Amino acid sequence: MSNNILMLMMGGVGSRLGAERPKQFIEIDGIPIFAYILEGYGRLAEIHRMLLVVHPEWRAYTEAWVKRLKLDGCTAIVDGGEDRSFSVRNGMRYLEKIAAPEDLVLIHDATHPYVDSEGVRRVIAGVRRTGAATLAQGEHDTVYRRNDSGMLEAVLPRRDVVSGASPEAFRVGDIAKIYREASEEELRTMTSAGAIALHFGMKMEVVEGNFLNLKITYPRDLQLLKHLIHTYFFPGARERIQDSGNQ
C-alpha cells in the first residue's frame, strides 16, 4: 500500500508582511503558525510521513518545535531553495530517495494556516482517481477581469474560476519527474506545483475545500488569523501543544 506524505513548504521570508520574522514562524500565544499546521496534520490517520522544507536559518528553531510536538519519528527536514519552486524541487529530490513512485505527496504552503481534514481526504481520493488533485475555493461573488490600466474589462463565469488552496497532491514519481525536467526559467516563473504540473500537461482534479482559504500575505491576514485561530482554524490545538511540551 502506498504512503501519503505531507510536504510542508516553509522556506520563504514573507517580505510583504513586513514582520520581523518569516510569517510561518510568527508565534500566536507562544506557538509558531507552522506548529499549528503540523499538529493538525499529525492527527490525521491518512498522513503517514511528513517532510518539512525550511529556510536554512530557521532549521534549528524548526527542529526544536518538531521535537516538542513529538513528530521527530515521522518527520524529515530539508533546506529550502532560492524561491518556492526551487524549494519544492529540493523536497522532491529528497522524496525520490526515500519514497516509492506510487506514494502520494501533499504539498501544503505554510502561509495557508489551516488543515481542512475532510478536504485532505477528498484530495487523496482525487489523486487516486485522476493522478493529481488540488484543494481550491470556488468564487461566490461576481468575478471580473481587469486591464493593465486597472479598469474592468469583462465578467468571468464564476463556475470557471477557483482560487488555489493547500494542499496540492500528486503521485511522487509523476511530480518529481516534472521538477527534474523543468528549466530554471520555468521554476522561476511558475511558483505553484499546480501551475508547473498544468504546464507539463498533467490533469488535476479540483476539490472544493470546507475552510476559508486564508493566505497570510499582508498584516490584515495575520490579524484575521489571530482572531479565529482558536475558534475556527485550530480549536483545541493550543492546549494539546502546551500539554505535549509539558510531558
Confidence bin at 202 (pLDDT 50/70/90): very high
Residues 116, 209: contact at Cβ < 8 Å? yes
Q: Is the pLDDT of residue 54 over 60?
A: yes
Task: Please check the confidence at residue 13 and state whether its pLDDT lies above 70.
Answer: no
| Domain regions of the chain by residue span | 4-246
Q: Are 165 and 213 in contact (CB under 8 A)?
A: yes
Side chain identity at 45, as an amino acid letter? A
Judged against a pLDDT cut of 90, whether residue 106 lies above it is answered with yes
Structure-block grid coordinates of residue 243 = 500539554
**Residue 202: DSSP 8-state:** -
Overall fold of domain 4-246 = Spore Coat Polysaccharide Biosynthesis Protein SpsA; Chain A (3.90.550)
Q: What is the pLDDT of residues 136-193, one digit of tens each?
A: 999 889 999 999 999 999 999 999 999 999 999 999 999 999 999 999 999 999 989 9
